[in-house]
Amino acid sequence: MNKITIINGPNLNVLRLRESVYGGVSIEDINAGLAKRFPDVDFTFFQSNSEGALIDCIQAQTGADGVIINAGAYTHYSHAIRDALAILKCPAVEVHLTNLWARAGEFRHKSVIGEVCRGVISGFGADSYRLAVEAVLQDKG
């Protein structure tokens, strides 16, 4: 069985309460949808608003077949999360619900973690997570 860890960063725990650009879905809805769609995957779901907790979770992924991460705002400036991802032996995929490059605010147009990930999936709403899972499974062959 494939083991995939889904890591969500700051403010994703209150996703449904945020701007309408996020589609009104909750992180719990996304997680439940993934578990239902991929019953043969052993998922671990983790969310934290704390950079250190996210790094600890990434570093603990020694047995994972893949890591999918939506680092939220940390995407744009956390070199510490980037460095933790670079250590992983399994593929990591960066995901975002919205298209970062179409968002207002120049700071949102840069990802410091994407360069150490297998790929970046952005702009497909909750489907970004599904596409990331499919990419990890395909990478495993």
Catalytic-labelled residue, pool 77, 96, 109, 129: 96
Instruction: Choose, from 22, 74, 77, 129, the residue flagged as catalytic.
Output: 22
Look at phi and psi of residue 111 and say left if phi exceeds 0, alpha if psi is from -120 to 50, else beta. beta
Residue showing tokens 């250590």: 87
Q: Which residues pair with 8 in a beta bridge?
A: 47, 70
Residues in the chain: 141
> In the sheet where 92-96 sits, what is the strand order?
41-47, 2-8, 66-70, 92-96, 119-122
d(CA 129, CA 108): 19
22 is catalytic: yes
Is-catalytic flag, 96? Answer: yes
Element (H, E) at 31: helix 27-37
* Active site members: 22, 96
